[in-house]
Structure 1
Amino acid sequence: MNYAKNILETIGNTPLVQLNHIVKDLPCKVFAKVEYFNPGHSCKDRMALQMVEDAEADGRLKPGGTIIEGTSGNTGMGLALAAIVKGYKLICVITDKQSKEKMDILRAVGAKVVVCPTDVEPTDPRSYYSVSKRLSEETPNSWYVNQYDNPSNTKANYTQTGPEIWNQTNGKITHFIVGVGTGGTISGVGKYLKEQNPNVKVWGVDTYGSVFKKYHETGIFDENEVYSYVTEGIGEDILPKNVNFSVIDHFTKVTDKDAAVYCRKLALEEGIFVGMSSGSAIKGLLQMKDQLKPDDVVVVLFHDSGSRYIAKIFNDDWMQERGYLDKQLKTAEDLVNKNDKPFVVVRTEELVSHAVDRMRTHRIAQIPVIDTTGFVGSLNDSDLLQAYVENPEIAEKPIKEIMGKPYKVVSKDTTIHEVSKLINQDHQAVLVALENGKHHIITKYDIINSIQ
């Protein structure tokens, strides 16, 4: 019989798949190392098992112990598989930006999940780095994995992933490209490939909000580059010891939007259902197409499965909220259709307090003013503030005493660019004439939100 003695024996030997449609504009062949064929559905299974086995060998992890790690989810899954088979407990510390699917999966395989805020400094006691370390100090018979600085992370990819890619390409690979997070994959694979052929180019994909690219190019750790981003699994606000910058030839940065859009493109155009970091990787490759030649053989590593991002990347509402969908907003009517707020007006004889109440209720800053003849004025938060400064008793005055000029009215077919020209300090909104005598409002914030 041909079988695996346990699930851990199925890790590795993932397929190399040629890409055909999404890379049609590239001059060379491109192959994907599809790592979601690992049992935990990500490349992290390899290094998770390696780190556990190395810790067992040197006594850091003892029988019946508790494994503790800060993770974006995938390493946690790999550790969970090892913990189940080998009889350990597991605590995963995760940030609140990670997908709900990742948290639910970790709980399903027996891990205790501790959720920490994303937007804090690494040294903040609330960060997932700090919480992981604290829990390891407080928990008896525990081992803190520390995948960022643990050399077994790189070792797994040097001894497994690198040789697999070399053999699958029959040694013809010329370029390897992958998103960089802990650094273990790019450093391990890159080191192995360059030992076989020093001319192999190793390209890293970074994200905006991360420090890797600038540090690689200048040696400067620029804290001004650190800010919150959406992409999961790549980029860092620290410099992990596993990132061997000497192995990496070049970095490119990919936006959150492009990562999400190209993740979906891979599913639709190649039938490869992967996560957001894989979208970053393929977009990063496309950004560097001018550096490729017809005889090149490129391998791009796809980190994990799209099943962990169903509520995010593959959810149209989530994508639409962030402006990631490719639907182009062109006209005033497009903006109105995107706007889910009701059309709110006030009358000339109403009190200012009525307008303030509607602004507060509907969370708006501009209101058209009407009387029996139609639109005769406007009111915005700036007018209200100025009126209040001049007269603290303004709330009981009629609106007609402080209203400004009426907003300009445009047709529904007016382009967004033309609408934007009408919005300035004196006119912070315009009205759109719709069918059946109806109107709606477009504010400067609507214009800003339409920028993609």
Structure 2
Amino acid sequence: MKDRIARHMIESALADGRLRPGGVVVEASSGNTAMGMAMVAVEHGLRCVMVVRRQTSREKLDCLRAMGVELVLVDGELPPEHPESYNRKARELAASIPGAFFPDQHNNRANNEAHYLTTGPEIWRQMDGRIDFFVCGIGTGGTISGVARYLKEQNPGVRVVAVDVAGSVFTDYFRTGTPGVPRRYLLEGLGDEELIACPEFERIDEMLQVTDSEAFLAARDLARSEGILAGGSSGAALWGVRQVAARLDRPARIVTLFSDSGTRYLSSIYNDDWMRKHGFLPEAEAGAPISSRP
């Protein structure tokens, strides 16, 4: 999914002169946007510098290095106002590197626009316009906001449900108008520790909040029951779909997105030792087939 915003942002910047040929792209990313930026940077002969939380999965970091990305690792537990934190560090680097372009995926609504122009129409076509619910994780907010805008333009009755992660500030803000107090979580790609500009909360009808455990176990269940090896944010989306489906009183068409590959999490959520270490996997369930579980 993130290759869509990478292409849209980088090629727009090249077209209007904000980014010059041979220039530098600097961004803060949990890994998936960084991968998309790296792909487009290689295609256009650009240097790519990514600020990534040190806690990001080893597989993602290895993939980025393999593609020539210059990684700047930061402590993901630093408060957002700290100068060495994730978003602050990327902005500082962009300002210090001559010719650098900072797409700012968290605050630049070109992120949303990319999905309004591509993902939204694609979903509408594939579903022949027959959609009752769109359930989607909320990270930068670009995907859910852009798709929601398009779908609701076609049919205002489409209900948009966001899946946030426990520890993020988004859910409290959506429900009360006041950001919650951020807490540490392990799920990559969803939520944030501060309010950012891309989420268009007014386009969202409901927001659910998933725990790390619920997201990771749903991802593992998806792999074993459907043969789809997806990441933790996809597990969160599946969990959200199940919440919506469980309360339906009539047949409905629910659309969701599985936006990341599980191959990037083989050392974490698909590793029984890692899951047990963090208290997500009871001893009796490690490696047990789905049919043997309660």
Is TM-score (shorter-chain normalized) higher than 0.5? Answer: yes
Q: Deviations over 1:381-432 (max 9, x none)?
A: xxxxxxxxxxxxxxxxxxxxxxxxxxxxxxxxxxxxxxxxxxxxxxxxxxxx
Between 1 and 2, higher relative CO (CA 8 Å, sep ≥ 6) is seen in 2
Distance (Å, rounded) in 2 between the aligned partners of 1:192 and 1:291? 26
The answer as to 2:141 corresponding to 1:176 is no
The answer as to 2:245 corresponding to 1:289 is yes
Once the two structures are superposed, the pairs formed by residues 355-366 of structure 1 within 5 Å of their partners are none
Distance (Å, rounded) in 2 between the aligned partners of 1:174 and 1:326? 36
Distance (Å, rounded) in 1 between the aligned partners of 2:247 and 2:197? 29
Distance (Å, rounded) in 1 between the aligned partners of 2:148 and 2:251? 20
Distance (Å, rounded) in 2 between the aligned partners of 1:240 and 1:58? 25
The answer as to 2:106 corresponding to 1:106 is no
2:279 to 312, 320, 323: 323
Are 2:276 and 2:283, in contact at CA under 8 Å, matched by a contact in 1?
no
**What is the aligned partner in structure 2 of residue 157 from structure 1?**
115
Deviation at 1:284, TM superposition (A): 1.8
Per residue, is there more helix in 1 or in 2?
Answer: 2
Distance (Å, rounded) in 1 between the aligned partners of 2:282 and 2:248? 27
Distance (Å, rounded) in 1 between the aligned partners of 2:27 and 2:249? 42
SS of the residue 1:145 aligns to: coil
The answer as to 2:42 corresponding to 1:84 is yes
**What is the aligned partner in structure 2 of residue 266 from structure 1?**
222
**What is the aligned partner in structure 1 of residue 89 from structure 2?**
131
Once the two structures are superposed, the pairs formed by residues 7-26 of structure 1 within 5 Å of their partners are none
Distance (Å, rounded) in 2 between the aligned partners of 1:296 and 1:143? 44
The answer as to 2:6 corresponding to 1:48 is yes
Deviation at 1:327, TM superposition (A): 4.0
Deviation at 1:53, TM superposition (A): 1.2
Are 2:76 and 2:85, in contact at CA under 8 Å, matched by a contact in 1?
yes
Deviation at 1:287, TM superposition (A): 2.2
For structure 2, the residue ranges without an aligned partner over 5 or more in a row are: 286-294
Q: Structure 2 counterpart of 1:64, which letter?
A: G
**What is the aligned partner in structure 1 of residue 191 from structure 2?**
235
Deviation at 1:56, TM superposition (A): 1.4
Q: Deviations over 1:78-108 (max 9, x none)?
A: 0111110101000010001210111110110
**What is the aligned partner in structure 1 of residue 259 from structure 2?**
303
Deviation at 1:227, TM superposition (A): 1.1
Distance (Å, rounded) in 1 between the aligned partners of 2:279 and 2:93? 38
**What is the aligned partner in structure 1 of residue 52 from structure 2?**
94
Q: Structure 2 counterpart of 1:151, which letter?
A: R
Are 1:51 and 1:150, in contact at CA under 8 Å, matched by a contact in 2?
no
**What is the aligned partner in structure 2 of residue 369 from structure 1?**
none
**What is the aligned partner in structure 2 of residue 12 from structure 1?**
none
2:206 to 250, 261, 277: 250
Deviation at 1:289, TM superposition (A): 2.9
**What is the aligned partner in structure 2 of residue 216 from structure 1?**
174
Distance (Å, rounded) in 2 between the aligned partners of 1:156 and 1:53? 11
CA RMSD of aligned residues (A): 1.2
* Consecutive aligned runs of 4 or more in structure 1 exceeding 2 Å deviation: 287-295, 326-329
2:98 to 131, 137, 140: 140
Deviation at 1:326, TM superposition (A): 4.1
For structure 1, the residue ranges without an aligned partner over 5 or more in a row are: 1-42, 330-452
Per residue, is there more strand in 1 or in 2?
Answer: 1
Deviation at 1:293, TM superposition (A): 4.0
- Count residues with an aligned counterpart: 285
SS of the residue 2:72 aligns to: strand
Deviation at 1:328, TM superposition (A): 5.2
Distance (Å, rounded) in 1 between the aligned partners of 2:280 and 2:259? 21
Q: Structure 2 counterpart of 1:153, which letter?
A: N
SS of the residue 1:91 aligns to: strand
Deviation at 1:239, TM superposition (A): 1.7
Q: Structure 2 counterpart of 1:138, which letter?
A: S
Deviation at 1:320, TM superposition (A): 1.1
Are 1:274 and 1:302, in contact at CA under 8 Å, matched by a contact in 2?
yes
Q: Structure 2 counterpart of 1:50, which letter?
A: H
Deviation at 1:290, TM superposition (A): 4.1
SS of the residue 1:173 aligns to: coil
1:75 to 12, 15, 33: 33
Distance (Å, rounded) in 2 between the aligned partners of 1:54 and 1:211? 31
Distance (Å, rounded) in 2 between the aligned partners of 1:270 and 1:136? 42
Are 1:54 and 1:152, in contact at CA under 8 Å, matched by a contact in 2?
no
Distance (Å, rounded) in 2 between the aligned partners of 1:153 and 1:183? 8
The answer as to 2:146 corresponding to 1:188 is yes
Q: Structure 2 counterpart of 1:184, which letter?
A: G
Deviation at 1:291, TM superposition (A): 3.7
**What is the aligned partner in structure 2 of residue 167 from structure 1?**
125
Distance (Å, rounded) in 1 between the aligned partners of 2:128 and 2:283? 42
Q: Structure 2 counterpart of 1:104, which letter?
A: D
Deviation at 1:180, TM superposition (A): 0.3
**What is the aligned partner in structure 2 of residue 340 from structure 1?**
none
Are 2:241 and 2:254, in contact at CA under 8 Å, matched by a contact in 1?
no
Deviation at 1:295, TM superposition (A): 2.7
